[in-house]
Amino acid sequence: MAFLRQFLPSVFLSIFIINGCCSSNSTPLSFSCGNGLEFRYPFWQRSHNRDNYGYPSLGISCIDKTPKIQLGSHLYHVKRVNNSEKTLLVSFYESTDTICPVASHAVRMNSSASFLTYSNDVNMIHFFYNCTVYPSGVEPIKCLQIGAKHAYVFLEGSVPEFDWKGYCESLVTIPVMNKSIDGSLATSFGKAMNEGFELKWSPNHDCRLCEVSGGFCIFDDNNIQKFSCSCGQGRRYASCHNQGLVTSEFKIGLLSIGLIVCCLTIAGLVFYIVKKRRNGIYKKGFNPLPSSGR
């Protein structure tokens, strides 16, 4: 009986581990930064994402009730989200100048932002600031003229031949929406910059399979290749149709936990039997009294 009392808990423990421990919320929560814009999966709130639901690049930081998203090494203001189109509209948030803003940095997306792309309605524009030699026949940005220094802006594909790098202090490339450019870019760039640019999100192959099966994708913080699919009840599968365990790493992990539990149980059993025998021998050999107590 004592043996069973020792043995049963480990059996229950291994059943518990194999069934999946540490259950998490079965659906990701929606959230808002307090300005009325609501975010749902695959967005997630930075510093609140205990369960790692959502796409790695769609983490939202709430700063002064304003939602911010990180692209490359900069934060951008999230102005709108369209869940049915899977698009979001973002803008520079440092710039408070609505008429004649200066692009303080280029917009770059990390390779880790593989779940985000520019929408089809985005055009890249190139700024050349503080040029001391001017190309002929090109309209400068009047409001950015500082003494003899001129600034220029062009659509991608229509930058005139000129030694821009040689004659201008800084070159910055940013995306804007096609439809927000009307007439001359040199006069409408401010409006276009303030409107911002649209991004589209889409899952990668494995995550799409998970979502199609009704699950939610879960990514590892440090390694986005470590992917799993949550189908409720805290269980993690590759997809909710194929309820196999996720990665081979996870399988190996489970297998080794199982083996360890098994070995420990056997070791415990052997130890118990040996100890009991020894006690028996000891008692028989040196203590002829009947076994004590009970």
Per-residue interface string for the shown chain with ligand NAG, residues 65-104, x marking contact by CB under 6 A:
-----x-xx--------x-xx----------------x--
Q: How far is the CB of 211 from ligand NAG (least distance, A)?
A: 19
Show the site string, 205-234: x = touches ligand NAG by CB under 6 A, - = not: ------------------------------
Q: Is 146 an interacting residue with respect to ligand NAG (CB under 6 A)?
A: yes
- Minimum CB distance to ligand NAG smaller for 70 or for 188: 70
d(CA 79, CA 94): 14
Q: In the window 24-63, what residues touch ligand NAG (CB under 6 A)? A: 57
Cβ atoms of residues 89 and 118 within 8 Å = no
Binding residues with ligand NAG: total (CB under 6 A):
21
Tell me the closest approach of the beta carbon of residue 199 to ligand NAG, in angstroms.
Answer: 13
Q: Does 178 bind ligand NAG (CB under 6 A)?
A: yes
Per rule CB under 6 A, is residue 169 in the interface with ligand NAG?
yes
Residue 137 CB, shortest distance to ligand NAG, in Å, is: 23
Among 91-99, 110-118, 189-197, 226-234, which window interacts with ligand NAG (CB under 6 A)?
110-118
Q: Does residue 120 bind ligand NAG (CB under 6 A)? A: yes
Minimum distance, C-beta of residue 25 to ligand NAG, in the bound complex (Å)? 24
Choose between 60 and 231: whose C-beta lies nearer to ligand NAG. Answer: 60
204 is an interface residue for ligand NAG by CB under 6 A: no
Residue 276 one-letter amino acid: K
Interface ranges with ligand NAG (CB under 6 A): 57, 70, 72-73, 82, 84-85, 102, 110, 112-113, 120-121, 123, 129-130, 146, 149, 169-170, 178
